Structures are given as C-alpha cells and as structure tokens.
Structure 1
Amino acid sequence: MGCVGHVGDPAAETAMSTPTTTSTTNPGSPATAPAHRTRVVVLGAAGRDFHDFNVVFRDDPAYEVVAFTATQIPDIDGRRYPPDLSGSLYPQGIPIVAESELAALLEREHVDVVVFAYSDVRHEQVMHLASTCIAAGADFRLHSARHTMLRSTRPVVAVTAVRTGVGKSQTTRYLARMLVDLGLRVVAVRHPMPYGDLAAQACQRFATYADLDRHECTIEEREEYEPHLDAGVVVYAGVDYERILREAEQEADVILWDGGNNDLPFYVPDLHVVLADPLRPGDETAYHPGEANVRMADVVVIAKCDSARTADVEAVERSVRAVNQRAMILRADSPVTVDDPAAVAGRRVIVVEDGPTLTHGSMTYGAGVVGARAAGAAQLLDPTTYAVGSIAATYAKYPNARGVLPAMGYGAEQVHDLEATIRAAVEAGECEDVVSGTPIDLTRVLSVPAPIVRARYELREVVPGGLAAALRSALALETTGADADATYAGSSS
C-alpha cells in the first residue's frame, strides 16, 4: 500500500512552514554579529531546550545563548552543549547549569530573555519561573509549535499526551502495527533522551538490540526503543532533529513521532493523537505543554478507562471538549497481562515501575502494581527500607513513589543502586519475586537473585475502528480501510 503527501488547509501549512536551521545554511563564515546580541538563557531538561536552540537560535547572530539550565533529569548540569552541535557562533559550546542557579545566572550574565523549554510542569510552576525572570529584568518566552516544528517530506503521525505515564508507548505501538499491516514502511522518531555524549548522540539509528548496546543506552532509553525493535520498527533519536528527520525520511513511508513526557511534537503532524488520563482528571488543562497538545489534537484518546471511575472518564471528556470542539474523542482500555501469573501468585514481590511516571509524572503506581495484584501476589513490599544511593534520594525528592521501586536508570550508578536495592530485600528474606512494569526486559540490564516477571500493557479501543478511520482520513491511505477495521475490531493489542 502507499499514501499521498500532506493534506490539510493550505493556509495552515504555510503558517507551519519549516524554520531555518543550520543544516540548510551556508557552512562558511558566520554572519557578523551586531554590536549588542540579545542574551538568552534556555530552561530545559536535555530535550526540548536543545531542539529549540537548534531551530531558533543556533545561526542567528542577533542572539547569544549564554547558558542552558537543567532539571528533572539527574547529572545533566555541569556539562556543555558541544561546539559540534552549537555551531560556528559558539566555538566553545554552551554551559549547562542547574536550574536552582537561575536567579544568580540572570544577574551575573545580564540576561535579556529566558526561554522555557521543557515539559510536564504545572502551569503555576511555569509562572513562578516567569516571575523570577521578570523580577530580574528578563523577558520570559514560550516558543509556539509554529516556530519549532519542522516539516517532513513524509506524512507524520504524532503521539503526545497531557502528562507522562498516560499511555503513549502502547498507543504508538498500536498505530505502528496498524500502519505496518497496511504495507507501509514505518520509522519511529523518539523524543530526545540524550543522557550521554551529546555530540556522539546527534543522530542515532536503532534497528537491533546490538545497536542499543553499541550506543550504551540507559534503562530509560531502552524502555522507549526496545518495544519498537521487538515489532520490527526502526527507531531514530538523538539531538539534531532536522538531521534525524532527513535520514529517517530515506527509509520511511510514514514518520511516527513517539512523544516524551507531555511535550509538543518536533515535526508538523498530519495526524496528532493525544493521550488523556482519567486517573489524573483535571491534569489535561493544568500542565504545560499538555494543555496545548489537547488544544492542537486531531484525536484525543482517553486511556485507562478499564481502571478509572466512569465519573472521571466523563469529566476528562467534558474538559477536553471545552477546549477543543473539533477533536475526535475516543475511549480506550489499558489491559495488563503478566507473563507468568503462577510465579507471582501467593508470593511477596517488589514491583518495579517506569521511573518518570513516578517522579515528575507524580503517579503512585503503574502497570506493575496492576499486574501483581491481578496475578494474586500475597504482598507488595515497600522497598523504601532497602533503598540505597540514588534510589533513596529519589524517594526523598518524590515521596509519592514510596511503596514501589522506580526504574531509575539514567546511568550506571543508578542501575547499580537499583540492583543493590532489590538484592538487599532478597537477602533479608523479604522479597521472593520482582514484578516489572517497565516496557523492557530488565534481565538484560540487571542481575538480581530473584525471578523477574514482566507485566505488559497494551491499548484496546472501547469502540474499535476509531484510530484506523483517523489514519485513513488524515493520511489519505490508498485503502478502503476494511482490512484495517477487520484486523483491529475487538483487538486487545
């Protein structure tokens, strides 16, 4: 099967035209800088901040980005955005400092403009940061999607959310299978997760498990990449998202944007699918930039309906409709299955859950807890007593995570501490099994003296066929859609 190019309102397409970036500029000498360059600080978390810099500031001599700040992700500050990525205007690169130093940084560097460029943050927190900047004499800026999205030569399906931990991963997998079954070559482009050598991670391609090892992927990265590889879908990620896009286009009929947190897509979507969470009703209009995603959405999927109260599902639906009257609203379940329920029944278990879901996602449990309870675990042990190092620090910063074990795997030290925490509980005679609610096979990265049983979760449309119809309409697929509807009617995956 094939598909045609972009469809939609010509005026809107003109408004969303691709911004200028370094990959399209003359590689010769930089333009002469003006006498006074507007001094900029970009607030970030090793993702959106780098993209906004690349697209908006990198080659503009009117601006001087004096620093990035870092939060949410450990061990980012103290590094530099390297010259290989920052361009000819920044031969020394750009320092990355802790966001906690912002007030002093504004004064010391005489900053003119502060750009907020990370995600999954309460509106109130964004405005507290804005107040800090305004009081220091700096303008506070939020870049729009219009100024930061790149346009692809291929159709783009984007999956984003109102919060982290809503169900983007299973929705992306669901859509990927649907597109592959229609005979399309699908390439997933994952929201950035550059926790290592930034220059080396500028453009990464993952097609096999060996690629994960070669790029020394963290647990956090593996959680996002492995499920796609299991399905035979190639994944791109990194730092320079125009370069990534142009390379991905060479082997794709459709680009599938796999969003992170609740961030906006980096590419102009032909179909924008947004996940909303009835387990956190109200968050769909309380967090940045999740509310913007809802307002931009073509389709809003209310996930986890099988775990939520009907009243909360209905409240989220009313909330979404109040801010976006044109979006298709679908309901979906998130069924959880345990690989070996007999190995969990009657046992004392520690549940490992996706880290970001518990930390800045503010959830208290995930698929692992749902699966362990359904399988009849005798006791879900609180691992807090056995926590060591960075895991203990995570509980101190995010007390909502107590009771389960967050899979904090941003580096070797955190993986070691995760192992040590489980090992201590096993050696104390308290833990008999581990139930893993993360999307990866933890046995590939952890060695612990207890069986690890996986809890897996998928997407199931309450009324089948809605997403298939949205794909056909948005991408003008050359099919009647009968095959897709038949394949996914009643599907639990």
Structure 2
Amino acid sequence: MSERIVVMGAAGRDFHDYVAALRDDPDRRVVAFTRAPGQNFGETDAGGYEAFPAELTPDGRGSIPIVSEADLEDAIAEHDAGTVLFAYSDVAHEDVMHAASRALAAGADFGMLGPDSVQLDVDVPVVAVNAVRTGCGKSAVARAFADELDARGFDVAVVREPMPYGDLAEKRVERFADASDLDGLTVEEREEYADHVAAGHAVYAGVDYRAVFDRASDEADVLVWDGGNNELAFARPDHHLVLVDALRPEHGERYHPGEANLRRADAVLVTKENAASDAQIEAATDSAARLAPTDAPIHHADSVVRADDPDAIAGRDALVVEDGPTLTHGGTSHGAGYAAARDAGAASILDPEPHAVGQIADVFASYDHLDRVLPAMGYSEAQLADLEATIDAVDPDVVVAGTPVDLDAVVDVDAPVVRARYEIECRDATPASLLDAGLGGALDF
C-alpha cells in the first residue's frame, strides 16, 4: 500500500512539493492538503476552492481535499494518513514544532521535503533572490537583476512563488506581461507582479511549476527567481543570493525556511542598513557569518524610499497604506509608505484602526503589532470594499501607498494617492558585480 500523506500548506509550496516530488511517485499518495491559518489573511474567501483539481492529478486519482489546518487531526484519521509533510514558509521555528507535535500526537510521522527533492532542473541559467523573512527587499533586488540582464541584451523572465487564487486548473501556468494581464487579480497578486510588469519584465507563476519553468525557459535566456515570503527556490539556482534585514537581525535563525536559505546562500546581502543602528547591522552581519557557508561573501545595502510626489505629502495629514503580507505574516510594523510620509514632512500620520470596518477590523484584531499603518488587504471583493471604506472613514488629506500596487486602480477613494517605493542601493557592490560573481561563465553564451 502507498504511503498516505497529508501536506500542510498555504496554496504555494505545498502544491509545488506535490507536483515536483509526490504526484508521480507510486509509493506515496497525497490524501489531503491543509490550508494554513494566519498566512495570507482572507485567502479562504478569495480562493473559492475546497480541493486540488483532478485535472492536475494522475489519471484516476481524482481531486484532493483541502481542509482547514485546524482539522489536521481529523484529516489524518479520516484519510488513514501515516505521514504529515510541512510545506509552507515564513513560519517561526517554534510553530513548525507545534505542527509536528500535533501530527505526532495523532500517530503520524512528520517531516518536510528538502531542496534536492523539489528543486527542478531548468535548461537556462537561474539566479535566485531569497531572504530570511518577508519584507527584506527581494523584489527590488530581483528587479535590479532583471534590468541588468535586459541591458546586456538577454531575454529575461521573472518567476514568482505562487499565489493561485481561484480556479487552480485554469491557473496551472500564469504569465503577466502588461498591465491588462493584471485585471481581475487580487491586491496581493498585484503586489507580487505589478512592479516587474511595469519594468517590462514578463512574470511567470502558477500551480504546476514543471510547466511554469518549461514555458518561461522557452521564452527567456535567463530566469530570475523572486522568492515570495522566504520560500526556497523552486528551481535549482546557478546563483543564490539571500537577503538579511538589518532591522530584524535575529530573524535569520528564528524562521523557516529562512535559516535554510541562509545556510545554502552563495552570497548574502544585508539590507536596510541606512535605517538600522550600528548594533543591528553588526548583529545581522554576525548572524550571516555564522550561518551562511564560509565561502559566501556578505555584502551591504541601503533600502532607500522615494515618494513619487513628496510635496503632496508635506504638511498634510497622511494615511499610510503598506504592503499587506509584509505587515501581517511578515511581522513588520512599518514599510516604505510610513518612511516616505515621515521623510516628506507629513503633518501627522493618522491611525486607521479606530476607523477600520469589516474584515479590515478583523486584520487589526489579528495583528496587534500594527502602528498607524493600514495593510493593503484585498483577497476578495468584500475585503477590498472594506479597505476602501476604511480609507474614506479615516478621511486623510493624502494617502501614502507603500504597496507595489497602484492603489488608485483598485480602490475609489476621495483623497489623492502618492506612491512610495523601496530601492536597493548596494554599499560595496552593484547588481552587475553580484551577477558576475555568482553566474560567471553561465552568462557567456
């Protein structure tokens, strides 16, 4: 009899592990997925699915149920599962072991699949940008790499970690190349893709990453993996750059799989040093030196915030709207919007929490570390409507948007919106030198 497996996930790495290592293994059968709580808040409303579709399973297997993680023990018993595999990211080590304890108490084995089992081989060079936590600045570095490769005349495509809301079979392979391709997506999907698309780089994502990488490598000479959260790369990288946040220096050894990323890094980039204290920078650098391979160089960078129109912020009462996942399961209290409002001389930064309505009020109740910032939550039409209503209820003079999404395109609010963006400025390297040091002869074709 095949080993019967429940995979714990969040509609991302879990599906990839299934496709890459479990789907075609006759000795192992996935009998259920669990949906993670707390990650991607509101996903249940937006996902609209209760099963992994039969179209993406072997002939005759049928669909695979997706149940709440709260029902893990019931799923083990109902499906006679002997193994639980943990397959999602940006999770504290302690929480991983709480999940293990639940599986063990229910009588199941507990484990996770490693990179050698699930990283796919791709026919073109792959540079992977990963991090120890959400919100370290991966996408800014990935964009810089893509820009540099494009300037050298390479056809480049970006591959993102999945956010497959809606019909999973229909989203088996997704490609986003212009603004119209983003129509109908959730705010969280737009946050992952919009800046790459605006820079002229096609972005691939989906559910079946064997097919995703096949399609992307048909189009491009070089692929840039922009790892969502702190997820392991889904392809075997030719160069693996891992970011460490100087403002959260201890997180490199407290979160899964961020520590694994750091221990597998070809090079490390400590970011946000312009906003950190000397002690924080030293702690982040020391952590990287202890955990990363001894031959992995450690580089240093500032994360510079620029507002599109700082004069529109100066002297005004501002509401700050930030990237949702960075604030929620990323655990940060502020982002680019807050820094831009402060630096531009806003008269005040307004507190949205007393004005929050509906599901946005639920977000504040779930994440009590938030301080005068509004997460850009929009996993469903109802949640997006609550976001819009909350902004109008605050009644700011100006909205400062630190989310990659063009907020004006997804909500209709009375106040003008000024966008703010992070840019990475390396202190001791350039995107070109980081690429050349890592990829070397892989780009000589």
Partner residue of 1:21? none
Shift of 1:479: 8.6
Higher Rg: 1
Find the aligned partners of 2:361 and 2:188 in 1 and give their Cα distance. 18
Work out whether residues 77 and 97 of structure 1, in 8 Å CA contact, stay in contact via their aligned partners in 2.
no
Q: C-alpha deviations, 1:361-394, integer Å up to 9, x for none?
A: 1111101000000000111111011111111111
Find the aligned partners of 2:216 and 2:442 in 1 and give their Cα distance. 22
Shift of 1:61: 2.7
Q: C-alpha deviations, 1:220-253, integer Å up to 9, x for none?
A: 1111211111111111111110101111111111
Partner residue of 1:229? 197
Instruction: Give the counterpart letter for 1:240 in structure 2.
Output: D
In structure 2, list runs of 5 or more residues that go unmatched: none
Q: How does 1:50-65 map to 2 (within 5 A)?
A: 50-65=15-30
Aligned pair in 2 of structure 1 residues 77, 449: CA closer, same or farther (>3 Å)?
closer
Partner residue of 2:436? 472
Partner residue of 1:138? 108
**% identical aligned pairs:** 50
Aligned pair in 2 of structure 1 residues 161, 337: CA closer, same or farther (>3 Å)?
same
Shift of 1:474: 3.1
Work out whether residues 61 and 89 of structure 1, in 8 Å CA contact, stay in contact via their aligned partners in 2.
no
Partner residue of 1:85? 56
Instruction: Give the counterpart letter for 2:410 in structure 1.
Output: V
Q: How does 1:336-347 map to 2 (within 5 A)?
A: 336-347=305-316
Q: How does 1:392-471 map to 2 (within 5 A)?
A: 392-426=361-395, 431-465=396-430, 467-471=431-435
SS in 2 for 1:134: helix
Find the aligned partners of 1:474 and 1:100 in 2 and give their Cα distance. 43
Shift of 1:444: 1.0
Instruction: Give the counterpart letter for 2:208 in structure 1.
Output: D
SS in 1 for 2:234: coil
Q: TM-score, normalised by structure 2?
A: 0.95
Shift of 1:39: 1.3
Q: C-alpha deviations, 1:4-56, integer Å up to 9, x for none?
A: xxxxxxxxxxxxxxxxxxxxxxxxxxxxxxxx222110000000000001111
1:200 aligns with 2:170: yes
Find the aligned partners of 2:311 and 2:287 in 1 and give their Cα distance. 41
SS in 1 for 2:379: coil
Q: C-alpha deviations, 1:132-181, integer Å up to 9, x for none?
A: 11121101011110000001000000011100011011111111111111
SS in 2 for 1:334: strand
Q: How does 1:74-223 map to 2 (within 5 A)?
A: 74-75=43-44, 76=47, 79-91=50-62, 93-213=63-183, 216-223=184-191
2:259 aligned residue (279, 284, 291): 291
Find the aligned partners of 1:78 and 1:464 in 2 and give their Cα distance. 45
Shift of 1:96: 0.7
Moved over 6 A (4+): none
SS in 2 for 1:229: helix
Partner residue of 1:262? 230
SS in 2 for 1:364: coil
SS in 2 for 1:69: strand
1:273 aligned residue (241, 266, 291): 241
Q: TM-score, normalised by structure 1?
A: 0.86
SS in 1 for 2:224: strand
Work out whether residues 246 and 281 of structure 2, in 8 Å CA contact, stay in contact via their aligned partners in 1.
yes
Aligned pair in 2 of structure 1 residues 473, 89: CA closer, same or farther (>3 Å)?
farther
Shift of 1:77: 8.2
Work out whether residues 70 and 77 of structure 1, in 8 Å CA contact, stay in contact via their aligned partners in 2.
no
Shift of 1:349: 1.1
Q: C-alpha deviations, 1:176-199, integer Å up to 9, x for none?
A: 111111111110011101111111
Find the aligned partners of 2:278 and 2:99 in 1 and give their Cα distance. 36
SS in 2 for 1:401: coil
1:40 aligns with 2:5: yes
SS in 1 for 2:274: coil
SS in 2 for 1:163: coil
Find the aligned partners of 1:42 and 1:401 in 2 and give their Cα distance. 31
Shift of 1:432: 1.2
Partner residue of 1:241? 209
Instruction: Give the counterpart letter for 2:79 in structure 1.
Output: E
Find the aligned partners of 1:184 and 1:469 in 2 and give their Cα distance. 16
Aligned pair in 2 of structure 1 residues 425, 461: CA closer, same or farther (>3 Å)?
same
Find the aligned partners of 1:126 and 1:356 in 2 and give their Cα distance. 19
Shift of 1:477: 5.0
Work out whether residues 274 and 293 of structure 1, in 8 Å CA contact, stay in contact via their aligned partners in 2.
yes
Work out whether residues 305 and 339 of structure 2, in 8 Å CA contact, stay in contact via their aligned partners in 1.
yes
SS in 2 for 1:90: coil
Partner residue of 1:24? none
Shift of 1:78: 5.8
SS in 2 for 1:434: strand
User: How much is the aligned-residue C-alpha RMSD, in angstroms?
Assistant: 1.5
Work out whether residues 77 and 98 of structure 1, in 8 Å CA contact, stay in contact via their aligned partners in 2.
no
Instruction: Give the counterpart letter for 2:329 in structure 1.
Output: H
Work out whether residues 130 and 232 of structure 2, in 8 Å CA contact, stay in contact via their aligned partners in 1.
yes
Shift of 1:402: 4.2
Instruction: Give the counterpart letter for 2:194 in structure 1.
Output: E
SS in 2 for 1:450: coil
Shift of 1:89: 4.5
Shift of 1:206: 1.0
